[in-house]
Each structure stands twice: as C-alpha cells, then as structure tokens.
Amino acid sequence: MEVRRPRNPGAFLAGLAAVIALLYFGRILIITITVAVILAFILDPLVNLFMRLRMPRGLASFFTCSLALLVVYFSGVAFYTQAAGLLSDLPRYSSRINELVDVVALRLEQTEKSISEIVIPKRLQRDGKTAQIISAQPVQPPSQQKSVPRRRSAEPPAPTVQEVRISQEREPIVNTIYNYLRSFYDVLLMGSFVPFLVYFMLSWRDHLRRSFLQLFEGADRMVAGKSWEGIAEMARAYVVGNFILGMLLSVASSLIFWWANLPYPLLIGPVSAFLSIIPYVGLPLALVPPFFAALPFYNRIGAYLIIGSIIAFLHLLALNLLYPKLVGARVHLNPLAVTVSLMFWGTLWGAAGLILGIPITAGVKAVCDNVSELEPYGKLMGD
C-alpha cells in the first residue's frame, strides 16, 4: 500500500486539526461506533462457531447478540440484588460519613486555634512595640494640626436594569434537572444503538469486508486484508484478556472481602477488580469501593491500611505477572506509547478515552505494521 507524504505541511496540519476537532465534537457518535466495532470483533468467533452448526450467518449473529444480552442482563440482576441492600443501608453510611466530617472539622478547628495561639501573641508583641514607638513621638497641639475633611462612606452603586432583570428571572427546577440529565440522556441514547450496530456488523460482516477490500487494488488489497485481521485479533486479545484478568481479580477480591467481613462482597469485589485494570488510575479507584463499604464497621486506620495493602498487592501482581501474559503479548505497545495515547484520548474523550485509548492505538499500530512506509512508526510505538 503506497502512502504519499504531504507536499504542503500547512495543509497537512490543517487536516490534522480538522480530524482532532471531529474526534472531539463528534466523540459520542465515534465512541459508540468504536465500541460496536470492538464488540463485533470479539463476538465474531462465536458467530463462526454457530455457523459450523449449519446456521446461516444472520441467525448465528442473532443468537450471539441474544446470548450476549442475556449475560449482561443476568449480571445486571446480580449487581442490582447487591445494590438494593446497599441502598437500604445508605442512612447508616450517611450518618457515618457525617461523623467523619464532624471529626475532620473539629480537628481543623483545633489546628487553626493552636496556630492562632502561636501567631497572635507575636502579633500583639509587634503591635505593642509599634505603639511604644508612636507614643514616643512628639504630639502637636490641636491648633497646629491640619484638619482633614472626613470622607463620606461610599454608597453601593445602584443595580443596573440588566442586573435587576437577571435577579428576577429564576430558572425553573424542571430546566435545571433537564440540563443535568441531558448529558446522560445523550449517552443512553447512543448506547441503545450498540446492540443493533453489533448485530448488523456481524450479519453483514462478509459484505462489509468485501466492500472494504474493493477500495484497494493489487497488493494494496492484501495489505488491507492483513490490517483488518490484525485489528480484529488485537481487539479480541485486548478485551478478552482484560475481561479474564478482571474476572480473576473479581474472584480473589470477593473472597478477600468476604474473609474480612466486608458487606456486599459480590458487589464491591468485581467493581474494585475492574476498576483496578484501568491504566495508571486503577489502584486509587479500586480502593474506593471497599473503603466505602467498610465505613460503618471499621473505625481504626489499621483496618483500612490492611485492606489497601491487599488491594495494592493484587493490583501489582496482576499488572506485573498476569497482564503481560494475557494482554501485553498481543498488543505490543511500549510504555511511552501507552502513556501518550492515554493522555491524548483522555483529553479528547475523558474516561472513555482512558478505556478505549490503548485498543485504538494498538489498532493504529497494527495498520502501521502492515504498511511498508508506516513500519517505522509501528516500530516507534512497539515494545
């Protein structure tokens, strides 16, 4: 596949800026399509398995999507059962949080008082020396003192018509709630299209692949096919590897939390485990669920230190031992490329960019590895 270098650097930079702007302003649409493509690559082997049972591709895609939705549904039911009990205990957690806030406020007040006791005597001593110096200066008689006219206290300016109009216009509570839920509505709306997109991508997979390859000719078509397969293999390896790693950590975390008598181990264990596999910020995020669950039951700092140490040990074990075998062997990205990609996609897409940044960058590397003129960039990103 021939790749021509841009003759006009200004046009290239303008095009690059346009692409970045498109990725930013169209992030909800692009994220939805990206998630659907990754899920389609993951579920495609299951479709091929059903096709070996003499099922047509459309029916096999329907069974695959239905099975995936059932797994999501039963997982949601299991989490809802645990979350319902947690919601019933929220008053207990809220009272405990209020106690902790009161304790922190009392300690801050005591600290401020102790600091003021140290600083104020020095200030009084300094002010006393200043008063002695002033009293030592000669005082002029009243006849020689200059009369200074008193200034009238500045009256506050009268509010303008625009300020009065703004103060009188109050936003209804309905509009406030609507503006708050609008972003969630857009996400849920786009998320509802994911099952349909995945089904159509699976059922029309052969047609889409043929149409895509017909855009190229000769040797370029073979390179495009290899790039397609490389991206599919990378997506399956990355997502499936992370899922297996998250499940192993979920079992280990749930058993440890059950042994530590923490409430709702079947809920906080998987949540903490899957949060821990988020790059760079996984460890502090993984500490939040067990610490929150332990608030009404543990008052000593030592208990939280033990829980945090166990979670940190599991995180480091998974990151250094399991992650390279399950995920890193297929992705082949060096730490610098991973860090830069997370910074770039995290800036554009926020939390979704932190999750999708590595597979997207690995997909770009898969394309670079199959294009002769882009191989140096693939080696630059490689491990």
Q: Please give the pLDDT value at position 132.
A: 56
Q: Please give the pLDDT value at position 329.
A: 62
Q: How many residues are there in the chain?
A: 383
Q: What is the pLDDT of residues 266-286, one digit of tens each?
A: 888 888 888 888 777 788 888
**Residue ranges for the chain with pLDDT beneath 50:** 1-3, 148, 153, 161-170
Q: What is the pLDDT of residues 171-221, one digit of tens each?
A: 555 566 666 666 677 777 787 888 888 899 888 888 888 888 888 887 788
Evaluate whether 237 touches 333 at the Cβ level (below 8 Å): no
Q: Please give the pLDDT value at position 169.
A: 46
Domain boundaries, the chain: 27-84+191-215
Three-state helix/strand/coil letters over 96-117: HHHHHHHHHHHHHHHHHHHHHH
Q: Please give the pLDDT value at position 178.
A: 61
Residue with tokens 């997909």, as numbered in its chain? 363
Please choose, from the candidates 307, 281, 306, the residue with its C-alpha nearest in 3D space to the C-alpha of residue 293.
307
Please choose, from the candidates 323, 321, 357, the residue with its C-alpha nearest in 3D space to the C-alpha of residue 342.
357
Please choose, from the candidates 268, 311, 234, the residue with its C-alpha nearest in 3D space to the C-alpha of residue 83.
268
Indicate the burial class of 202 (C-beta count within 10 angstroms; 0-12, 13-18, 19 or more). buried
Q: Please give the pLDDT value at position 129.
A: 55
Q: Please give the pLDDT value at position 170.
A: 45
Contacts of 298 (CB under 8 A, 6+ apart): 304
